Structure 1
Amino acid sequence: AAGLQISNRLTTQIKGLSVAVKNANDGISIAQTAEGAMATSGNIMQRMRELALQSANGSNSDDDRASMQQEFTALSGELTRIANTTTFGGRNLLDGTFSGSSFQVGANSNESISFGMKDVSATSMKGNYNE
């Protein structure tokens, strides 16, 4: 009877750990999905910075500046599109609604990791630029 009890307890622990590994892998996948989208967003913001600096050059015509503004506006829209469409499991990751998500990563109830992500749309990033 004692052997059966030990066996059942170990089986329960093994099953719990198997689920915990799956949960941890889901958390990793979420982070990787968000990281890929944020890397793309970072490249877009770098291009936006280049356009802003280029536009400040006094040798540009009004048409040049209008073209740069048009590209800048399109890139801003792309940032918001990325924030609104980056999802995992049907949940938006980068629009500010993914907050306080908890992942059970151990066999016991107190073994969890929680994290959330902020809104990274173009409108949420408006502010002052300091170098």
Structure 2
Amino acid sequence: MTRNSRELDTAMEKLSTGKKINLAADNASGLAITTRMTSQIQGAAAAISNASDAINMVRIADAALIEIESMLQRMRELTLQAASGTVTATDRIYLDAEYQNMLQGIDQIVENTDYNGIALLNNDVAKADRLITFQIGVNASQTKTYFPGVFVDDGSRSNVGAIYQKAPNILSSTLHTGVSSSYAADNFQAALKAIDGALLTVERQYAENGSFINTITRTVDNLFNTQVNTEAARSRIMDSNYARETSNLARTQIVQQAGMAMIAQANALPKTVMMLLSD
């Protein structure tokens, strides 16, 4: 009866909690395994969140680069217009004014583009401080680094705004005084070269951002698969088999009821004997 009562309590506990391992005594090795699995599952959930944040961060930088590219294309168009001999000195002043506004607009985008206070395009800080490390796995070594900013033509990193500021004015400095109507043809060529270099810089960053996003997206997919399959494996070890436990509960209840009936009958037997003797 004591053993059956213990089995009855165990069956009821497994059914009420939904777990077949509630104490280390139930399955010591199984509990240790599922504890590690729980760490993996929760770690995967955190890594998925981190990876999604990383994708959103790079997409913000990508959107800013799209606007910068558009402004650079307009600056190139203005430079080509100003280089034409059909344009007057007054026209060149107007073209140069728009050119300078575009240049300032690019600097503003560079200065203001950030994610949660992290500058994505303005790389005035030291190189080591610009590296962003994302924890995209369940273990300490499973990280991915991202370098905010863009490549200069020589392959080094630099401040985006500073790159564009190197583009010369469309007009010669004398024209800005409003006195001379002459312009330097070399300025147009220098401006075109600088703008084309800046556009190449943006193209390179497009490729880097795109490959980064694609890599992280595949990582997220893999983390989802890992999480789902680890949860399934943990469930097989930890979760109760309701059909089996229901059967055990019914069996132990029947045995308990039968045992109680036998005890009641055994307790009633002396009284029956005494009644017979008294007669």
TM-score relative to the length of structure 1? 0.93
Residue equivalent to 2:137:
106
Residue equivalent to 2:51:
24
CA deviation vs aligned residue, 1:105-130 (integer Å, no higher than 9, x gap): 11011110001122221x32326517
Query: Match for 1:16: what amino acid?
Result: G
Which consecutive aligned stretches of 4+ in structure 1 deviate over 3 angstroms post-superposition? Answer: none
CA deviation vs aligned residue, 1:47-96 (integer Å, no higher than 9, x gap): 00000010000111111100000000000000000000001011111001
* TM-superposed deviation, 1:12: 0.6
Residue equivalent to 1:39:
66
Query: Match for 2:56: what amino acid?
Result: S
Q: Could you tell me which of 146, 150, 160 is aligned with 1:120?
A: 160
Residue equivalent to 1:62:
89
Tell me which protein shows more helix as a share of its residues: 2
Structure 1 gap segments, 5+ residues each: none
TM-score relative to the length of structure 2? 0.45
Tell me the SS of whatever aligns to 1:78.
helix
* TM-superposed deviation, 1:5: 0.8
Query: Match for 2:40: what amino acid?
Result: Q
CA-based RMSD of the aligned residues comes to 1.5
Query: What is the alpha-carbon distance in structure 2 between the residues aligned to residue 110 and residue 79 of structure 1?
Result: 37
98-107 vs 67-76, which moves further: 98-107
Query: What is the alpha-carbon distance in structure 2 between the residues aligned to residue 68 and residue 80 of structure 1?
Result: 19
Residue equivalent to 2:252:
none
Q: How many residues align?
A: 130
Tell me the SS of whatever aligns to 1:95.
coil
Is 1:4 the equivalent of 2:43?
A: no
Query: What is the alpha-carbon distance in structure 2 between the residues aligned to residue 54 and residue 124 of structure 1?
Result: 22
Structure 2 gap segments, 5+ residues each: 1-27, 150-158, 168-189, 197-279
54-63 vs 92-101, which moves further: 92-101
Query: What is the alpha-carbon distance in structure 1 between the residues aligned to residue 55 and residue 117 of structure 2?
Result: 16
